[in-house]
Amino acid sequence: MPVQTSRRPPALESSGGPARAATTTPTQPGKGGKTGGRPAKKRSRRKDPLWARLTLILGAVLMMTSGVAIVGSKALISKATGNIAQRNLLGDAGKSDAEGGANLDGPIDMLLLGVDARERWAADDVRADSIIVLHIPATHDQAYLISIPRDTEAQIPAFKKSGYSGGVDKINAAFQAGARNGGGWEGGAQLMAQTIKKMTGISFDGAAIINFGGFKNIIETLGSVRICVSQEVQSIHMSYVDGKPMWNADAKKTGKPMKPVVHKKGCREMEGWEALDYSRQRKTLKNGDYDRQQNQQQLIKAMAKKATQNGTLTNPLKLNELITAAGKAFILDVGGVPVADFVFTMRGVTGNDLVMLKTNGGTFHGDGSRETLSQETLDMFHAVKQDKLAEFVFANPQVISSRT
C-alpha cells in the first residue's frame, strides 16, 4: 500500500515560521534566502517553504527503483533526507486538498523542468527548454513522461512576484518571466506551473528543476548510460581538440584544430558528456524540439534503468556517491512530504515501467513560428487529469515514443 502522509512534516506544523535552511544552497545562479508561500486556503501545508541544497536524486532516477531496492535502503534514504528543506516551486499550481493533495494515495503528477544553465548566464535570463509532466497513476505501478514543446504558444498569467503583467508567448518564456526582477528559479517554476495548469487543467503534487549540466556527474557516478541514436547528428555545441571534447567557445580559444563531435546512429554506452551533448541537440534534428524531447526522455529512462541494474541503490557507498552528485542537479518540491516517504510510495515502479509519450505525434504542429497542442494531445492531458492515461494510451498506441 502507498504511504499516506500529510504533505507537511511534523516539524513544520509546530514551527512559528520558516525553519533555518542549511548553509549551502542548491547550485543555481541567482538569489536565495527568501521564502515564499501559498495561500492557506489553497494548500496550507506550503505556507512555510524552506530553502536548502537538495542532496538526494529525484524523480526518474531514485523514484524508479524496484521494491527490493527501496526496502533494503529506506533507512539510509531516511537518514540522508531527514534534514532536507524544499523550495516552493508550485505556487498556486499545487494540488489542493480537494484534489487529493493531502496524502500520497491516488495519482501523482510532477512537473520536471529542465534548464541548461551555465555560470556565465544571469539567473533571470534562463528559459526552461525541457518541460516534462511525470504522471504516476493511482495504482503506483507505472510512470509516464510527457513533454510539452518549448515553442508552444501559451497564455502566461500575470505574476506579481516578478512584476510580469501576463501575455501570450512561447511557453518556455514563462520560466524567464517568473525568474526576472528577483523572482529567481523558484518564481520561474511557479509561473511555469501556473501556465501549464491554465493550459491543461493539471495540478501538481510536486516539481523539480533539473539542471541538465548536473546530469554529467550523475552519469559519471553510474559509469555510463546506454543511449540509442536514431539519426546521425553533428553537435552544434561541442568539438574535439587534441581528442578532448570541449565547448566550441572554449575550443576556439585554444587556437588548435577543431574536429566536430558527431553522434552516429546506433545503440551504445555513453559517457556523461556525450549523453548530455546528444540530448541537447535540437536545431539539426529532423523534427527539431520533438526529437530532442524524446532523446531527453530516453536519457532520463536510461539513468533510471542503470541506477537499478548495477546495484547502486543497494550499495551504501555507491548510493552516497549518487546522492552527492545529484545534489547539484536537482531543486525539489514534494509538497512537504519527507522525500524518503515520497520515494517509498513509488517503490513498485522500475525503470522498465517508465513509458515515454509523444505530444503532437512527435512532429511540428503550428504555423511555423509557434506550436499549438493538437486535439489528441489535449485529450492526453485530460486523461492525465482524470487518471485515465493508461486507457488513453491503450486506445492510442501511436503516442508511445519509439525511443527505448
DSSP structure string for 98-130:
GGTTTSSSS-EEEEEEEE---TTS-TTS----E
Q: Which three cell numbers stand for residue 369?
A: 513560428
Residue 273: per-residue pLDDT: 93
Task: Read off the pLDDT of each residue in 48-64 and give the average, rounded to a whole number.
Answer: 30
DSSP state string for 365-391: -BSSSSB---HHHHHHHHHHHTT-HHH
Of 106-110, 235-239, 308-312, 373-377, the range with the lowest mean pLDDT is 308-312
Look at 41 and 109; give whichever has higher pLDDT: 109
CATH code, 127: 3.40.630.190
Residue 142: per-residue pLDDT: 84
Tell me whether strands 259-263 and 233-241 are parallel, antiparallel or unpaired. Answer: antiparallel
Does residue 268 register a pLDDT over 80? Answer: yes
Residue 239, domain member (yes or no): no
Q: Which three cell numbers stand for residue 14?
A: 509546530
Residue 125, domain member (yes or no): yes
> Model confidence at 55, in pLDDT bands (50, 70, 90)?
very low
- Cell 524567464 belongs to 176
| Residue type at 34 in one-letter notation | K
Q: Which three cell numbers stand for residue 303?
A: 539513468
Contacts for 20 with CB less than 8 Å, ≥ 6 apart: none
Phi and psi torsions of 225, nearest 5°: -135, 150
Does residue 125 register a pLDDT over 90? Answer: no
Task: Read off the pLDDT of each residue in 185-211 and give the average, rounded to a whole number.
Answer: 92
Residue 280: per-residue pLDDT: 86
Q: Which among 98, 17, 81 has a CA at the least distance from the CA of 330? A: 81
Residue 148, domain member (yes or no): yes
The parent domain of residue 133 ranges over 50-230+265-399
- The angle at the Cα of 257, spanning 251 to 261, to the nearest 5 degrees, equals 65
Strands (E), 1-78: none
DSSP-assigned letter for residue 63:
T
Q: Which three cell numbers stand for residue 296?
A: 531527453
> Model confidence at 25, in pLDDT bands (50, 70, 90)?
very low
Residue 399: per-residue pLDDT: 93
Task: Read off the pLDDT of each residue in 246-256 and give the average, rounded to a whole number.
Answer: 94
Residue 20, domain member (yes or no): no
> Model confidence at 87, in pLDDT bands (50, 70, 90)?
confident
Judge contact between 356 and 112, C-beta under 8 A.
Answer: no
Residue 252, domain member (yes or no): no
Residue 379, domain member (yes or no): yes
Half-sphere exposure of 40 (CA within 13 A, CB side): 2
Residue 278, domain member (yes or no): yes
- Cell 553537435 belongs to 235
Task: Read off the pLDDT of each residue in 156-166 and give the average, rounded to a whole number.
Answer: 96
- The angle at the Cα of 339, spanning 338 to 342, to the nearest 5 degrees, equals 95
Task: Read off the pLDDT of each residue in 58-64 and give the average, rounded to a whole number.
Answer: 37
The separation between the first and the last C-alpha atoms of the chain, rounded to the nearest angstrom, is 30
Q: Which among 22, 175, 100, 155 has a CA at the least distance from the CA of 387? A: 100
Tally of structural domains, the chain: 1
Residue 181, domain member (yes or no): yes
Strands (E), 159-219: 167-170, 206-211
- Cell 526529437 belongs to 291
Put simply, whether the predicted model's pTM sits higher than 0.85 gets the answer no
Task: Read off the pLDDT of each residue in 148-158 and give the average, rounded to a whole number.
Answer: 93
pLDDT tens for residues 274-283?
998 998 898 8
Residue 102: per-residue pLDDT: 55
Largest CA distance in the chain: 63
Residue 212: per-residue pLDDT: 67
What gap in Å lies between CA 126 and CA 121, rounded to an integer?
A: 7
DSSP-assigned letter for residue 25:
-
